[in-house]
Amino acid sequence: MVVQTTGLVGISTSTPAQQLSVGGSLFVGATSNGGTNGGLGVGEATTTAGVIQTASTSGLTLIQSDVHITGNSNGTSTLELNPGNRGSGYGRHGCIQFVSNEGTFYLFATTTGPAIFISGTCE
């Protein structure tokens, strides 16, 4: 572990780039007796066990802005897939896959037609 004079802390790295830099995987929620408890708060000090929580009113963004999960005070939740943000010309599209005991199904939409829900897996 490294603590620089600037206050930056590095775990498994000698050159921390942020207030806390971890060189490797990070596990959040370990208890002193080996159990698991706790969540990850991003701008949120109080968390629920097993949950990533954010103080942002615009929701949570994953994978460099490809996936957005948002909710509002009216109880509406939105899952947005926006793979077009990563460049053009790749023919990328969003797909949501559902897996159950009855089989695997997927939902996708294109700009040329309605949303389609069929059996199979995302491509």
Q: Is residue 60 very low, low, confident or very high in pLDDT (cuts 50, 70, 90)? A: low
By the 8 A CB rule, do 54 and 44 touch? yes
Please check whether residues 42 and 9 belong to one and the same domain: yes
Q: In terms of Cα–Cα distance, which of 13, 54, 4, 48 is closest to 28? A: 48
Please check whether residues 10 and 34 belong to one and the same domain: yes
Please check whether residues 102 and 80 belong to one and the same domain: no
Measure the CA–CA gap between 91 and 107, rounded to whole angstroms.
17
Mean pLDDT of 99-110: 85
Please check whether residues 72 and 103 belong to one and the same domain: no
Measure the CA–CA gap between 104 and 9, rounded to whole angstroms.
45
Q: What's the pLDDT score for residue 4?
A: 95
Q: Is residue 90 very low, low, confident or very high in pLDDT (cuts 50, 70, 90)? A: very low
Please check whether residues 4 and 40 belong to one and the same domain: yes
- 47: how many CB neighbours lie within 10 A of its CB? 17
- Please give the residue range of the domain that contains residue 84: 56-88
Please check whether residues 68 and 27 belong to one and the same domain: no
Q: pTM for the whole thing?
A: 0.47
Q: Between 23 and 65, where is the model more confident?
A: 23
Please check whether residues 78 and 104 belong to one and the same domain: no
| Number of domain units in the chain | 3
Average pLDDT, the chain: 78
